[in-house]
Structure 1
Amino acid sequence: MLKIRTCIIFALVAATIIGTSAFMPQQDEKKPPEYKNLKVLPKKISHDDMEKVMHHYNASLGVKCNFCHVRNEETKKMDFASDAKEEKVIARSMMKMTNKLNIKSFGEKKEQFNQAVMEVSCQTCHRGKAHPDSK
């Protein structure tokens, strides 16, 4: 009798667990971020690669995100898609320029960003300063 009672209790607990898990939200595979207003960087750039690129700019120019990006006053968050700052427009033209220089001087690469090869980068001229020395 004790074995039957234990089996029934175990079956009820198992059924409850299985039943509740069927109604719990399932976690989707991590979707790649959907960035808005990318004009030079690849449209399907991963979050990790985007972070690497942005941190490279931070270090190479000695600036923070707000140098190129504006804050949305309503949400109090950074509006990374906005083109309100001229520095962001200039950054895009600099990215195109360095890509052209690298292709012309060193040949085309499969990946244009985050490659540890000889290339012209922001650091080449800026050397940690927002505005490079003009000599």
Structure 2
Amino acid sequence: MKAPPVALALAAVALAGSLGATAAQQPGAKQEFVWPARISNAKVLPADIGQERLRTTMVGFARSLGVRCTFCHVGPEGAPLSQLDFASDANPHKELARGMIRMVQKLNREDLPAIVGESESGRPRVTCYTCHRGSEHPETQLPPPPPRPAAAATPPQPTPAS
């Protein structure tokens, strides 16, 4: 006898729910990471940034620099997010990142409006990607040197007669 599709779907949902509950109770089971609504040790980002804005901000940093969370945060590379110590300041990259964030905020809040005007729409904005382009270290290449002047043609000099 065939079970109706709705009954199969309900059975699958019930099974998945019971497996999830069992996994949460087992010692050593992975904890699911939940983005916090408030962050502790906030020095540049607002403490009440909210889960979605925090997630998109952190993903933006990682993608702009081509790095993973442990580039700035403390924890073993490849570990689940639930095992990282996000509040710790032990990683020196974190303080460097704070300085870079302050610089970007100042550029967008003060410097660019002074150059291009106060209009919010269409105003260019600086982001981490503006300089980093997916690399840990920002591009610092200098513009090419100016072209050399063409060598002036000198008339032939007379040679002394013998």
Q: TM-score, normalised by structure 1?
A: 0.63
Cα distance between partner residues in 2 of 1:121 and 1:45 = 18
* Same amino acid, percent of matched pairs: 43
Deviations 1:74-102, CA, capped at 9 Å, x for gaps: xx810000000110000000000011111
Give the secondary-structure state (helix, strand or coil) at the position aligned to 1:43.
coil
Q: CA deviation at 1:124?
A: 0.4
Cα distance between partner residues in 2 of 1:42 and 1:56 = 16
Q: CA deviation at 1:48?
A: 0.1
Tell me the equivalent position of 1:52: 56
Tell me the equivalent position of 2:13: none
1:100 corresponds, among 96, 100, 106, to 106
Tell me the equivalent position of 1:125: 131
Q: Which runs of 4+ in 1 moved over 2 A?
A: none
Q: CA deviation at 1:132?
A: 1.4
Give the secondary-structure state (helix, strand or coil) at the position aligned to 1:71.
coil
Choose 1 or 2 for highest CA Rg: 2
Instruction: State the superposition RMSD in angstroms.
Output: 2.2
Structure-2 change in CA distance of 1:48 and 1:93 (3 Å): same
Cα distance between partner residues in 2 of 1:98 and 1:51 = 19
Tell me the equivalent position of 2:150: none
- Does residue 34 (structure 1) correspond to residue 51 (structure 2)? The answer is no
- Does residue 86 (structure 1) correspond to residue 92 (structure 2)? The answer is yes
Tell me the equivalent position of 2:67: 63
Q: CA deviation at 1:104?
A: 1.7
Cα distance between partner residues in 2 of 1:58 and 1:88 = 12
Cα distance between partner residues in 2 of 1:39 and 1:87 = 14
Deviations 1:6-35, CA, capped at 9 Å, x for gaps: xxxxxxxxxxxxxxxxxxxxxxxxxx6231
Cα distance between partner residues in 1 of 2:86 and 2:127 = 22
Tell me the equivalent position of 2:140: 134
Q: Which has the higher contact order (CA 8 A, sep 6+)?
A: 1
Q: TM-score, normalised by structure 2?
A: 0.53
Unaligned runs of 5+ in 1: 1-31, 108-115
2:47 corresponds, among 43, 48, 57, to 43
Q: CA deviation at 1:103?
A: 1.3
Give the secondary-structure state (helix, strand or coil) at the position aligned to 1:79.
coil
Unaligned runs of 5+ in 2: 1-35, 77-81, 114-121, 142-162
